[in-house]
Chains A and B, each alone.
Chain A
Amino acid sequence: MDFHLSKEQEMVRKMYREFAETEVKPLAEEIDEEERFPMETVEKMAKLGMMGIYFPKEYGGAGGDVLSYAMCVEELAKVCGTTAVIVSAHTSLCCAPIFEHGTEEQKKKYLPDLCSGKKIGAFGLTEPGAGTDASRQQTTAIKNENGDYVLNGTKCFITNGNVADTFVVMAMTDKSKGNRGISAFIVEKDFPGFSTGKHEKKMGIRGSSTCDLIFEDCVVPKENLLGKEGQGFKIAMMTLDGGRIGIASQALGLAEGAIQEAVKYTQERVQFGMRLSQMQNTQFQLADMECRTQAAQHLVYAAAMKKQEHGDYSKEASMAKLFAAETASDVTRRAVQLFGGYGYTREYPVERMMRDAKITEIYEGTSEVQRMVIAKYMGVK
């Protein structure tokens, strides 16, 4: 695998890094504390093309590539897990399925506003009774006399839910067919019968919007069926494959950010007459953290490059997410330990990073689901 970055990728990473340090880092503590969605940051990212990085210019995208998108989420997560997941969910879970499965009309109608960041996107699959077992969808989509679809049901834990304008939503069009009875729809927030629920109070990524989507006889025009009837589950799984690259990048960035903070702190903190960084335990801890994180970066970049090349990247995406998420949890926990009591306070960012890291082991497929996917690709039955 050649990890030589192109000149454009080097340049775009430099831009993300400057942007994250200058615009995102100063807000990270505040939006976590206040559980506030950083709309002002989204507006700034939109102007720079960060809300549609790898989509073609003809649909309003920036014309970049999947790796440059992964690096964007990574650089944002180094300083703010919340801001990283806003971009990830918007891009991977809403723009991508419309781009990959939409008709030309759907792409022309929805992508320019999404890619330019005028509108924010979200994705509705999870339900109270259908988490990891996503096939147990209870939300229904029944055709009315005009051929349009009437949706009823509730989605939960929807990232960007309260701020999004456009949603890709899964619903059962034919319960008798199981997975093959699920269809995907593009839903606008102003469709009658659509509403959002209360903001979920979370352990981490507290600035990100998470809420229920409620469908009460919500009429979705027939032209908003994404793909064909019955293809919804397949579209959802393919979408989550891409989403896993985004979350893996978020996890990677969190680990890298925690290492940066830990290196800085241990070089300043003096105990027993020496800097913590001079102690072998600190050096061994940081070396282990660095190795795991570098390995995670290789997996994440490999998955991003495979998606760019249009290969089957499901296994790579699952491996990247599994390893990066568990690395993020491990590395951020170790960072808190290196900080000692100060690490447990909100005076330093590592406790926030540790809280933010945990979700990467859960959403867009738990670590257990990733292991199931990987084992399936290994032919282990």
Chain B
Amino acid sequence: MKIIVCVKQVPDTSGKVAVNPDGTLNRASMAAITNPDDLNAVEAALVLKEQTGAEVIVVSMGPPPAEGMLREVMARGVDRAVLVSAREFGGSDTYATSQILAAAIDKIGVDKDDIVMCGRQAIDGDTAQVGPQIAEKLGLPQVSYAAEITKEGDTITVKRMLEDGYMTIKVKTPCLITCIKELNTPRYMSVGGIYECYSKPYEIFDYNTLKDHPFIDKDTIGLSGSPTNILTSFTPPQKGAGMMLEGADKATCEQLAGILAKKHMI
């Protein structure tokens, strides 16, 4: 059994966010971290590994320095890592990225008992599109927003956390699950794991590795193959302090109704 986890290196948005003059994110001047939701997916995979003995493989698409992040993930207990990296893949939007990642995951191989896991969404783009698109391309059943995962035989029970409640569904392997932060608390790297992580298997899938895969087509990968066009990026203005109305008398209620009506909220 294998669990393949997709992880992404993202700029740390908890610190200062740097923006280029053209409005795009200045990634070079911001600290890079592992996308938080992806660490929840890694943790879920490691818990399943402890229960089943599964092999856990992480896959990331990004430039060569992403190796550092992948080694850190291996220091938490992941068995091996694949970095998908090539100039031809640069500038990919979610459609092109999922095309390339699906090809990489297909090359690793998704067998009957296997699970693919992703974080719900990355903190840089916040699209939550890549996981579901990979599932579609690989023809795998997908379960998003997993807040609880239990596995019995080839059946996985997932408690999905939705805006208005929970939904519990069962799915058979192979499948793809996207994970949210409520699922678990990611473990720390261990000292032993850190001193082992540079001797664990690490592969780079470049363009030549994947070019013969049916998903890899110059028209559907990289910047030119990405249907998304970014017109501009900007930081939305900060919300001001809210307005407080006090009292339950008729005049206050009318005032409240008036404000809401003016804002077309009622």
Could you list which residues of chain A lie within 8 angstroms of chain B, going by C-beta atoms? 7-8, 11-12, 14-15, 18-19, 47-50, 53, 57, 62-64, 68, 72
Contacts and interface: CB of A to CB of B under 8 A. Distances in A.
A48 B190 contact: yes
Contact of B194 (A11, A18, A19): A11
B42 to A, nearest CB: 15
Contacts of B165: none
A347 B192 CA distance: 37
A11 B75 contact: yes
Interface of B: 68, 71-72, 75, 188-198
A63 B191 CA distance: 8
A13 to B, nearest CB: 10
Nearest to B189: A15
A137 B194 CA distance: 42
A62 B191 contact: yes
| Majority secondary structure of chain B interface residues (helix, strand, loop or mixed) | helix
B75 A49 contact: no
A11 B72 contact: yes
A47 B72 contact: no
Contacts of B194: 8, 11-12, 15, 64
A15 B190 CA distance: 8
A50 B191 CA distance: 7
B72 A62 contact: no
Q: Lowest 8 CB-CB distances: which A-B pairs, in order?
A: A49-B191, A62-B191, A62-B192, A49-B192, A15-B189, A63-B195, A48-B190, A49-B190
Contacts of B192: 49, 57, 62-64
Given A7-B198, A8-B198, A48 B191 contact: yes
Given A7-B71, A11-B72, A11-B75, A18 B188 contact: yes
22 contacts: A7-B198, A8-B194, A8-B197, A8-B198, A11-B71, A11-B72, A12-B194, A14-B72, A15-B188, A18-B188, A19-B188, A48-B188, A48-B189, A49-B193, A50-B191, A53-B191, A62-B190, A62-B191, A63-B192, A63-B195, A64-B194, A72-B191
A355 B75 CA distance: 36
Contacts of B197: 8, 11
Contacts of A18: 188
B188 A62 contact: no
A7 B190 CA distance: 14
Contacts of B193: 49
Contacts of A8: 194-195, 197-198
Nearest to A48: B190
A57 B188 CA distance: 19
Nearest to A16: B191
Residue of A12, A19, A64 with highest tally of chain B CB at under 10 A: A12
A63 B196 CA distance: 9
A11 B189 contact: yes
B33 to A, nearest CB: 11
B129 to A, nearest CB: 30
Nearest to B67: A7
A7 B197 CA distance: 10
A63 B199 CA distance: 13
Contacts of A64: 191-192, 194-195
Contacts of A49: 190-193
Contacts of A15: 75, 188-191, 194
